[in-house]
């Protein structure tokens, strides 16, 4: 059983380009795939936590139309799934810098968090407007503001000050063949098993996901010890 699975959603743009479609079409197809994966993992109870990297702080540097399209897509999606996820017992969390987002999307995310906060099934952590270094700096500032004394600071206290207090990532998948973290959960992924399929995210089916999970099962996690 994987406790915490993370997916860096990548390759929507290339998927669209290969088909002569706009990047927006790629993002739309990616969102559908993501919805399918969330429902599948929740139904089959394959993981307890799922973190999804869907928009980085660096992604704000993309053309305005693409950023606007993505924000609209997220907003419509968050509104659409409110009731569905509530009924499916899925609990939604968000990680990211809300000050960079507009009011409507912040409202939509908060509404979704509130509506699903009493659910105790799959926890889905959306990393939106997310950057790991920014998160670590923000946590440090909060610790200083709370006047925590240095002797009380340990790894568990530090985790508590991050956007969400989540268990370590066990398995991290990045689609599209890129082999980098791009500022994603550097703290939480420190001992994660990494997996980089060539598949572009809109083609990342449930069958591909199961293949990845099988690969995870064959990994030997030693955590520095001799086994
Ligand atoms: C991932 O797909 C989605 C986001 C980062 C929002 P990309 O948009 O990065 O797709 P490629 O990498 O250009 O193919
Ligand atoms: C990383 O993907 C961010 C997300 C998946 C949300 P990018 O496609 O933006 O990353 P780079 O630019 O290839 O590193
Ligand atoms: Mg990309």
pLDDT digits 0-9 by tens, 158-206? 999 999 999 999 999 999 999 999 999 999 999 999 999 999 999 999 9
Report domain extents, the chain. Answer: 2-131+169-218
Please tell me the predicted confidence (pLDDT) of residue 109: 98
3-state class (DSSP) for residue 149: coil
CA 130 – CA 110 distance, rounded (Å):
16
pTM of the full predicted structure? 0.98
- Residue bearing the CA closest to ligand 1, atom 3: 10
The Å distance, Cα 12 to ligand 1 centre, comes to 5
Q: Structure tokens of 197?
A: 């399929």
Tell me the catalytic residues: 10, 59
The Å distance, Cα 29 to ligand 3 centre, comes to 14
C-beta of residue 177 within 8 angstroms of C-beta of residue 197: yes
DSSP-assigned beta bridge partners for residue 22 = none
Q: What is the DSSP letter of 102?
A: -
C-beta of residue 87 within 8 angstroms of C-beta of residue 42: no
3.30.110.30, 3.30.360.10, 3.40.50.1370, 3.40.1180.10: which CATH number matches 2-131+169-218? Answer: 3.40.1180.10
pLDDT digits 0-9 by tens, 4-42? 999 999 999 999 999 999 999 999 999 999 999 999 999
Give just the sign of the alpha carbon dihedral 59, 63, 68, 73.
negative
CA distances to 53, 61, 132, 141, 150 from 145, in Å: 28, 31, 20, 6, 13
| Cβ < 6 A, ligand 2 pocket | 8-10, 53-56, 59, 178, 180, 182
Judge whether residue 227 has pLDDT over 90: no
The residues whose Cβ lies within 5 A of ligand 3, an ion, are 10
C-beta of residue 78 within 8 angstroms of C-beta of residue 115: no
The Å distance, Cα 215 to ligand 1 centre, comes to 24
Is the shortest distance between the CB of 13 and ligand 1 below 6 Å? yes
C-beta of residue 204 within 8 angstroms of C-beta of residue 197: yes
């Amino acid at each position: 059983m994987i406790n915490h699975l993370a997916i860096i959603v990548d390759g929507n743009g290339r998927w669209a380009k290969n088909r002569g479609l706009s990047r927006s079409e790629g993002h739309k197809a990616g969102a559908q795939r993501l919805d399918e994966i969330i429902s599948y993992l929740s139904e089959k109870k394959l993981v307890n936590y799922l973190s999804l990297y869907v928009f980085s702080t660096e992604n704000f540097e993309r053309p305005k139309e693409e950023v606007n399209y993505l924000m609209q897509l997220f907003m419509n999606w968050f509104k659409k799934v409110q009731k569905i996820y509530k009924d499916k017992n899925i609990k939604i969390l968000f990680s990211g810098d809300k000050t960079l987002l507009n009011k409507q999307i912040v409202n939509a995310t908060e509404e979704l968090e509130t509506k699903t906060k009493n659910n105790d099934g799959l926890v889905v952590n959306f990393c939106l407007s997310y950057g790991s270094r920014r998160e670590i700096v923000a946590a440090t500032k909060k610790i200083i503001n709370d006047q925590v004394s240095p002797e009380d600071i340990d790894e568990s206290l530090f985790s508590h000050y991050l956007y969400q207090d989540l268990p370590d990532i066990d398995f991290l998948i990045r689609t599209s063949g890129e082999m980098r973290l791009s500022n994603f959960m550097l703290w939480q992924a420190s001992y994660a098993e990494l997996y980089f399929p060539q598949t572009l995210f809109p083609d990342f089916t449930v069958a591909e996901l199961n293949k990845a999970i099988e690969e995870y099962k064959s990994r030997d996690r030693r955590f520095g010890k001799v086994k």
